[in-house]
Structure 1
Amino acid sequence: MLKNLFRIFIGLTLFSCGKEAVPKPKGDLRLEYPNPKYLRFNSPCNYSFDYSDYSRVENAKENCWYYINYPKMKAKVFITYFPIKNDFQLHVREVEKMVYEHTIKASSIDTKSFQYPEKKVYGNFYELKGQTASNIQFFVTDSTRHFVTGNLYFNSRPRPDSLAPAIDYVKKDLLHLIDSFEWKK
């Protein structure tokens, strides 16, 4: 009898040595955003576009530069305007330089070119994936007189999984911005 109790005790001791139970970490909230309604922004700087009513357009420090602020997402799209003065290629190279500086952290960079010849709107849209400081960048130009760039930044650590819903929402807004972009005559 004592031998059986000893065997049971040894068996329980061997099988009870496992990993200590650890509580699961808190998960991130599932973020959902409202369907956007678009408002028209008319810049005094020769262009206009639609932006989401979930955001607001604010003046930046420079003339003709703006922020599209998404306060609930802690995100901003920096919009900059440059008149072209025989330096078109310089502006394109500068945008590409800013995009490809992120190759250290980016797992991929998807580039899409767009052109709307009837509106004289041309450019590139860059989606940077991975732990990059900027997730979306683009430029819009008429290729002769005007050049506008946009860069999306979040005021938080670059965690692609957590930011994915917000990035997708802003991406759709920015694609709509580009589709609605027009130069003033």
Structure 2
Amino acid sequence: MLSNAPSSGSRAAASTKIVVAGGFGVGKTTLVGSVSEIVPLRTEALVTNESVGVDDLAQTPGKSTTTVAMDFGRITLAEDLVLYLFGTPGQKRFWFMWDDLVRGAIGAIVLVDTNRLDAAFAPLDYFESKSVPFIVAVNEFESGARYPLHEVAEALALPEDVPLITVDARDADSAKRALIRITEFALTQLAGRQRTA
């Protein structure tokens, strides 16, 4: 069984990097903050009038801040496995930072909002082009429409081998399950690549 705290076991802890990505306002900062065992580093700035005409805020009228660089957190999944979490900025004008944030990551969670599925296509294309293993997590907003996962997969044209799950980014247990899923999937993908290399 996985533990939340390191122990004094004889094996040294391994660490790895997971990226949490997605469009603007899908819950990346919330997910990193809900599950991090340290106070998360956030690089948020207020959404101001300067965003008018630059950022599409129509679908997120209650959002008052935005990530301008990254979010950073850490979680110990098992006594010998520590995940470092890097949340990407969601606004297109900050996407130039993604290459640096993704470097060295074993996998990514792409968060999606069913009210704005179109915002998921660019992040999905990005991770496919970089050959970074990823899963798709539908963030279950209270106001969001709920659809069967097979319909979401079809709407996103997801390859059959890409895991699709639901998550409540506000809930630590739910976020942890998503992190366990991407870790397992990424390790399986990496092992498969090594066997065929």
Q: Same fold (TM over 0.5)?
A: no
Structure (1 or 2) with the greater strand fraction: 1
Greater RCO (CA < 8 Å, at least 6 residues apart): 2
Structure (1 or 2) with the greater helix fraction: 2
Q: TM-score, normalising length from structure 2? A: 0.25
Q: TM-score, normalising length from structure 1? A: 0.26
